[in-house]
Amino acid sequence: MPTEPVPQGPTPATAAPEGPTAPTRRTFIATGTAVGTTVVAGGVLGTGLLPGSEAAAAASAPSSRLSLTVNGTRHTVTVDNRTSLLDLLREHLGLTGSKKGCDAGACGACTVLVDGRRQNACLTLAVRMEGAEVTTIEGLADGDQLHALQQAFIDQDAFQCGYCTPGQILSGVACIQEGHTRSPEEIAEWMSGNICRCGCYPKIVSAVQQAAGKK
């Protein structure tokens, strides 16, 4: 079962079937994804983050240019086709509020809203986000005014270490919008895609109830 982007084969210590000339599965996917988009060398990202020669080298990996809106701000970026939405946010846009817990869609720490729906940013290729409206934890408050669910998380002490918290909150915002708050059991069920290892679950349910106006 694939669990992460860098799987090491379990046993074949010497196996490496792809020769240098054969397309690897990864480059195949990358090339395939790039079809239909404009590939621009040396984009905003490369020049912004890397010294000259390295930027050129990095840019020679298959890349795509796309525009998306994050927390109300429009970004036009050139990304390596292999980049996930999560890595675009964390490593390129400086929005580290979205967390990488498993990079495999199993923990929910990377949950963001894409066009209003909750989505695992680690399982989403950035190049698929053309035209998308993305909301991360950094975009939830209105200036100094916290979103009701952010305040509820503080009031209910619905977190300890805080690492799953952004994903829990965005999942909770969607849970409320979806109307899955009719009972604590229903909230628990619909919040079960977000793992909290500190074990704050009952308080997360209370926080969602509070923000939904039911507590």
Partner 1 sequence: MSPQPQAAVGAPLSRVDGRLKVTGQARYAAEHDVDGTVHAVIIDASIGRGRITAIDTRQAEAQPGVLRVLHHRNAPKLPYRDNTASNNPPGERLRVFQDDKVLFHGQPVAVVIATTLEAAQHGARLVKVRYQTEQPDTDLTDATPDKPTTYARGDAEAALRKAPVRLDLSYRTARNHHNPMEPHATIARWEGGKLTVWDKTQWVVGTQTELAAVFGLPLDSVRVISPYVGGAFGTGLRCWPHTIVAALAARVTKRPVKLVLSRRQMYFGNGFRPAYAYRLRLGSDRRGRLTAALHEMDGETSSYETFTEAIMTPGQMLYSTPNVKQAYRTVPLDVNTPIWMRGPGFANASYVIESAIDELAHTIGIDPIELRRRNEPAEDESSGLPFSTRRLRECYTIGAREFGWHRRSHKPRSRREGDWLIGMGMAAGVYDTARATAQARVRLDADGTATVEAATSDMGPGTYTSQTQVAADALGLTMRTVTFRLGDSLYPPTPPHGGSMTMASVGSAVLDGCNRVRNNAIKLATEDRQSPLHGADPNDIVVRGGRLHVKNNPARGETYRALLTRNKSTHLEALGNFTGPEGTPRHSFFAYNATFAEVAVDATLGLVRVRRMLGVYDAGRIISPKLAQSQAIGGMVGGIGTALLEHSVTDPRDGRTVNANLADYLIPVNADVPDIQAIYLDGEDREADPLGVKGLGEVVHVGVAPAIANAVFNATGRRIRQLPITADALL
HSE of 215, CA atoms in CB hemisphere, 13 A: 21
Give me the least distance between CB of 115 and partner 1, in Å please: 20
Give me the least distance between CB of 185 and partner 1, in Å please: 8
In eight-state DSSP terms, residue 90 is I
Is there a contact between 136 and 112 (Cβ–Cβ < 8 Å)?
Answer: yes
Is there a contact between 140 and 150 (Cβ–Cβ < 8 Å)?
Answer: yes
Give me the least distance between CB of 126 and partner 1, in Å please: 10
- Residue 128, classed as helix, strand or coil, is helix
Task: Extract the tokens encoding 68.
Answer: 């998306």
Query: Does 39 interact with partner 1 (rule: CB under 8 A)?
Result: no
Give me the least distance between CB of 172 and partner 1, in Å please: 11
How many whole angstroms separate alpha carbon 45 and alpha carbon 92?
Answer: 7
Per CB under 8 A, the segment of 35-43, 113-121, 127-135, 180-188 that binds partner 1 is 180-188
HSE of 133, CA atoms in CB hemisphere, 13 A: 5
User: Binders of partner 1 among 91-150, rule CB under 8 A?
Assistant: 91, 94-104, 106-107, 109, 136-138, 140-141, 146, 150
Query: Does 17 interact with partner 1 (rule: CB under 8 A)?
Result: no
CB atoms within 10 A of CB 72: 9
Query: Does 85 interact with partner 1 (rule: CB under 8 A)?
Result: no
Per CB under 8 A, the segment of 35-43, 113-121, 127-135, 181-189 that binds partner 1 is 181-189
How many whole angstroms separate alpha carbon 133 and alpha carbon 115?
Answer: 5
Size of the site for partner 1 (CB under 8 A): 85
Query: Does 35 interact with partner 1 (rule: CB under 8 A)?
Result: no
Query: Does 182 interact with partner 1 (rule: CB under 8 A)?
Result: no
Query: Does 173 interact with partner 1 (rule: CB under 8 A)?
Result: no
